[in-house]
C-alpha cells in the first residue's frame, strides 16, 4: 500500500511496474525463506542441546547455501530482466520503469540470505524481540522510511531504490546481533 501510494505520483505505469517487481522479488525471497524454515528445527535442536558449535556451523551452511541459490536466481533475473517482465506486461512505459527497479532489486537479492538466516536463527532460539525487529526491517521500518524519503531526493529512481536499499539495511543490521550471539554462546 505504501509502495503504491509513493508510486502513484509517477502515474499508473509506475504503480504497475513496482507491483510487478515486488511480486517477482517476493517470489525470489520465498526461496530463501524456504531454506531458512528448513534451518529452524536444526537450529532449535542444536541450541536446546547446547551444541553451539553445530548451531554456528548450520547457520553458516544455511546462509552460504541461500546466498548461492539466491545469487544464481539473481544473475538469471539480471540476464533475462526484459523477457521476465514481458511475462507480466507489454506496456513500454511500465517495462522501462520495471527494468530499472528489477536491476536494482537483483543486486540486493545477493544480500538477502543474511537477513533471512538471522531472522530464522533468532526465532528458533526464542529471541523473539530481536527476531521481530529484524523481520520488521525489510518490509516495515527500513522500507517505509525509504519509500517515503528517497522519491523526494531522486524521483522515480529513488522509488526504484527503496526496496533494494531496505533489503541491504535488513542484511547489514543483523550482523552485530549475529556476532554478539555467537560470542555469547562460545
DSSP secondary structure, 121-162, as one string: HHHHTT-HHHHHHHHHIIIIIHHHHHHHHHHHHHTHHHHHHH
CB atoms within 10 A of CB 11: 14
- pLDDT over 90 at 92, yes or no: yes
Global pTM value: 0.90
Alpha carbon distance 92, 97 (integer Å): 9
Q: In which residue are the cell numbers 543474511 written?
A: 114
Q: How do residues 10-53 score in pLDDT, each as one tens digit?
A: 999 999 999 999 999 999 999 999 999 999 999 999 999 999 99
Residue-range domain boundaries for the chain = 2-185
Alpha-carbon torsion 95, 165, 32, 139, what sign?
Answer: negative
pLDDT at res. 1: 73
- pLDDT over 90 at 139, yes or no: no
pLDDT confidence band for 138 (50 / 70 / 90):
confident
End-to-end CA distance of the chain: 43
CB atoms within 10 A of CB 102: 24
Residue 126 to residues 19, 35, 120, 129, Cα–Cα distance (Å):
34, 19, 10, 9
Amino acid at each position: 500500500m505504501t509502495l503504491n501510494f509513493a508510486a502513484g505520483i509517477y502515474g499508473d505505469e509506475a504503480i504497475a511496474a513496482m507491483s510487478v517487481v515486488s511480486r517477482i522479488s517476493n517470489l525470489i525471497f520465498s526461496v530463501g525463506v524456504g531454506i531458512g524454515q528448513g534451518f529452524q528445527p536444526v537450529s532449535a535442536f542444536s541450541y536446546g542441546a547446547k551444541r553451539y558449535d553445530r548451531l554456528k556451523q548450520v547457520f553458516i551452511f544455511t546462509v552460504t547455501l541461500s546466498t548461492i541459490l539466491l545469487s544464481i536466481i539473481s544473475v538469471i533475473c539480471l540476464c533475462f530482466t526484459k523477457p521476465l517482465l514481458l511475462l507480466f506486461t507489454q506496456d513500454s512505459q511500465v517495462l522501462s520503469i520495471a527494468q530499472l527497479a528489477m536491476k536494482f532489486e537483483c543486486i540486493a537479492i545477493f544480500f538477502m540470505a543474511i537477513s533471512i538466516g538471522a531472522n530464522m536463527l533468532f526465532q528458533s532460539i526464542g529471541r523473539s524481540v530481536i527476531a521481530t525487529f529484524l523481520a520488521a526491517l525489510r518490509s516495515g521500518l527500513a522500507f517505509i522510511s525509504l519509500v517515503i524519503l528517497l522519491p523526494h531526493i531522486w524521483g522515480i529512481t529513488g522509488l526504484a531504490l527503496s526496496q533494494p536499499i531496505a533489503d541491504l539495511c535488513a542484511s547489514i543490521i543483523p550482523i552485530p546481533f549475529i556476532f554478539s550471539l555467537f560470542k555469547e554462546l562460545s
